[in-house]
Amino acid sequence: MRTAITGAAALTEGAGGRFDSAVIHLDDGSRLVVRVPESDEAEAEAVRETTALAALTAGVRAMLPFLAPEHVGQARLGTRTARVQTYLPGYRVDASHVPPGRGVATALAAAIAGIHDLPSSIVQGAGLPARTAAQVRTDTERLLDRAEATGRLPFGLLRRWSRAVALDALWHVEPTVTLGGVDPSAFTLTDVDGVPTVSGLLTWGGLSIGDPAEDLRWIASAPDAASDVVVAYSAAAGRSPDTMLAERARLHAELEFAKWLVHGHDSASETVTADAVALLESLDESVRDEPPIGSGTISVDDAIAALGRVPAGAAEAVDTSMHTDAYDPGLIDGLLDEDAEATAAPAASDAVDQETEPIEFSDWPGTDDAPAAEESDPDDAAKNALRRWTGTA
């Protein structure tokens, strides 16, 4: 049975995305998403995403309390591959807009804990990356060494991060299935009886085994909700409490600056390197009077008590469209200025009616006047890479 297209619309937030995306409306009332990578790096990202989705068998999906996209098909489109996925409806919330108390914060925490409680065999069986606790620590130390080798890392941050790497108590990590640094904007939410509930997860390309704290690094951009997220996560996770979880999450967030510096150095981009240095200097100044990483822990009992005293907050939702590939979660900006206001992104345009035509995944038509890839310039590519450093959004 051939399914026909009844309409299509661009799917973007207009911020220089890594993918050219569209939502397709079908005559049976369903919707699909078509994504075409704009660079070799985005192509590699799309391959990882497809591989991860293939690992989500029917049995695995039955374990999830929310939906994941399904890979429907793909076809060559010039030098790129167009990939088609099912559409996940719902609204999304930027990390900086996650309110304290029960609601979005606790829903996100429980959803992330659910991912972390998946059997590790899912990742191992698919041949996806897996790291031990020792490897997580070694990789962190190696990143710090590479950042120091550039000669541009502020001494204050080098000392702060070196102390954290050397602190044995910080690295009592129980590796779990992770998403490699997920951001709240990757989740779709719907309101059930007025309560925000996670209904889907859009990005799976970082599926692996590693430090669960990486998936909570975004709480650095949500300081008001951070303790609520940590306690809700701890309550939902099927493991012993990790008292250093929030401390490692903070470290992983700060190290995004180091990754950006290394990226600029390795790509020989002075523009990116200078930008990274400016960010690092601002971070160095902002954390100068803060206690060292690893000096504070969050008591689960205390956090639960505090959570009960905090009223549920209304979240500021972002665009309700699904795949907005240019979405910038603003993790780095959040670290530098916790009170910074995120720029609202324009909503995706309404569907444009088109003449009905059959879907043929084997021969997806292209457009001769498609916009040129925004990453053709090395510096533009590097700037877009900054978004990728902040988490698989």
DSSP string, 214-270: GGGGGGGG-TTTHHHHHHHHHHHSSS---TTHHHHHHHHHHHHHHHHHHHHHHTT-H
Kindly report, residue by residue over 272-299, the tens digit of the pLDDT: 999 999 999 999 999 999 999 998 655 4
Q: What CATH number has the domain spanning 92-309?
A: 3.90.1200.10
- What is residue 212's DSSP assignment? G
Tell whether pTM > 0.75: yes
List, edge to edge, every strand of the sheet that includes 352-358. 71-77, 80-86, 31-37, 19-26, 4-10, 352-358
**Residue pointed to by tokens 């902002």:** 286
Q: What pLDDT sits at residue 241? A: 83
The yes-or-no answer to whether 4-89+319-328+348-377 and 92-309 have a common fold is no
Kindly report, residue by residue over 46-63, the tens digit of the pLDDT: 999 999 999 999 999 999
pLDDT band at 240 (very low <50, low <70, confident <90, very high): confident
Across residues 135-145, what is the average pLDDT? 98
pLDDT band at 336 (very low <50, low <70, confident <90, very high): low
The structural domains of the chain, with segments of one domain joined by +, span 4-89+319-328+348-377, 92-309
Least confident span in 50-64, 105-119, 169-183, 286-300: 286-300
Q: Which residue has the higher pLDDT, 310 or 293?
A: 293
Q: Find, among 255, 290, 49, the residue nearest to 165 by Cα.
A: 255
Q: Find, among 288, 388, 375, 292, the residue nearest to 332 by Cα.
A: 388
Class of domain 4-89+319-328+348-377: alpha beta
Least confident span in 120-129, 189-198, 356-365: 356-365
Alpha-carbon distance of 22 to 243, in angstroms, equals 43
